[in-house]
Amino acid sequence: MRVPRPRKIVVLVSLVVTLVLLCCGGSVTALLLGNLSNDEQSSLNAAMGCGKGGAIDPDSKLPKVRPYGATQIRNAAVIINVGEQLQMPPRAWVIAVATAMQESRLVNLGHLGARNDHDSQGLFQQRPSSGWGTPAQVRDPVYASTKFYNKLKTVDGWETMPLTRAAQAVQISAYPDAYAKHEPIATQIVNMLADGAASAAGSSLTMVCAASGQIAASGWTIPLRAGVGSGFRSPERPNHQGVDLSVDKYTPIAAVASGVVSLVKCDEDFRGRKTCNVDGYPGKGGCGWMVEIIHAGNVMTRYCHMVQRPFVKENQQVAAGDVIGRVGSSGNSSGPHLHFEVHLNYDRSSAGAIDPVRFMRQQGAALGGEG
């Protein structure tokens, strides 16, 4: 299956680094721009510092993603372009951008004296003394990105690893858990610069993969294949904080993204009983056997009504696609189904509950096979 290609303007942004002499004229430039619209040509000229008026402020020509400036976003574009040229899938672009966000804040670091981590330099703080290349090479964004991707290729199973594990396997950082917090913004940057390559909207690859239970470029997947039944906060159920996915009892339930299990319990019913090893009924109350997982960006997902004690424990790290339990009908339930919730800025209340259908579609992992 062909890897989604970033839009024309962004595919060529990396020429800022290697082909500046082609700017504003020349047969090669004309060839490259020949099939672009007038607006795309103007935008590309601006990104390359060209145009009828000479140098143009780059801050107004590339997407802005706080807290990063135009130069940092341009460096992210180079990282994405290199990944595409190496035929790495969009998931690799997200991992690479997130890694550079942690290592350098997407700034191409030179030698900083005592402020350097040993002799680390460049977007990925690669160390010449550790064999990454010469100082000049590791400060070349194209070279540094290529070295990162080539090392990532050697990591068995990186495609389904939590982002922080994949990045750590390449970088061998002293702070192995630091990468995860950058995943949401890295995904946003890839989507903005590459026509939504990290989500279903811009990539048939991620849509097919998520629908088949594989991992989308964003690092998310579906909990199981089932149609969406009772919806989020519907007029009939205004306090329904998630969606119900109706499927056969004992169907495996997958963690939808990497994270840490924060809660495993048999939820009490309205009478204070913990009776989760039997089928429930409408009006009984409680989630039955349930699991909560905290993901990067303080996103929490909740899984309810399992048939038996879940397969995971609190504080256990899980990866996207790991089986955490099986579908049942425990608690407040009229039949076998998974009740699935998504909460933002999680504080153990329902204040941050959002529509899982909309959220999962944005991650490239649409529930129920819907687009």
**For 235-255, what is each residue's pLDDT tens digit?**
888 888 899 999 999 999 999
d(CA 288, CA 370): 28
Of residues 162 and 93, more confidently modeled: 93
Of residues 138 and 209, more confidently modeled: 138
Give the rounded distance of the alpha carbon of 158 from its chain centre: 14
CATH topology classification for 227-369: Glucose Permease (Domain IIA) (2.70.70)
Collapsing DSSP to helix, strand or coil, 227 comes out as strand
d(CA 35, CA 11): 13
Please tell me the predicted confidence (pLDDT) of residue 195. 67
Sign of CA dihedral 319, 325, 326, 329: negative
Q: Is 59 exposed, middle or buried (0-12, 13-18, 19+ CB in 10 A)?
A: exposed
Of residues 1 and 159, more confidently modeled: 159
Residue 68 DSSP label: B
For residue 216, what are its two tokens?
């989308």
Give residue 40's pLDDT band: very low, low, confident or very high (50, 70, 90).
very low
Of 210, 241, 266, 247, whose CA–CA distance to 343 is shortest? 241
How many H-runs (helices) and E-runs (strands) does the chain carry? 12, 10
**For 307-323, what is each residue's pLDDT tens digit?**
999 999 999 988 888 89
Residue whose token pair is 């048999």: 266
The CATH 2.70.70.10 domain(s) of the chain lie at 227-369
**For 115-156, what is each residue's pLDDT tens digit?**
555 678 999 999 898 889 999 999 999 999 999 999 999 999
d(CA 236, CA 239): 9
Most confident of 24-38, 154-168, 192-206, 269-283: 269-283
Please tell me the predicted confidence (pLDDT) of residue 185. 87
Please state the rounded mean pLDDT for residues 65-77: 88
What is the phi/psi pair of residue 166, to 5°? -65, -45
Q: b/e map of 327-360 (b: 16 or more CB within 10 Å)?
A: bbbbbbbeebbbbbbbbeebeeeeebbbebbebb
21: Cβ contacts below 8 Å, ≥ 6 apart: none
Please tell me the predicted confidence (pLDDT) of residue 142. 93
Tell me which of 99-103, 298-302, 367-371 is least confident: 367-371
Most confident of 107-116, 171-180, 253-262: 253-262
Averaged pLDDT of the chain: 77
Instruction: Evaluate whether 342 touches 328 at the Cβ level (below 8 Å).
Output: no
Bond prior to 128 in cis (omega within 30° of 0): no
Tell me which of 21-30, 177-186, 253-262, 349-358 is least confident: 21-30
**For 211-225, what is each residue's pLDDT tens digit?**
445 678 888 999 999
d(CA 232, CA 240): 6
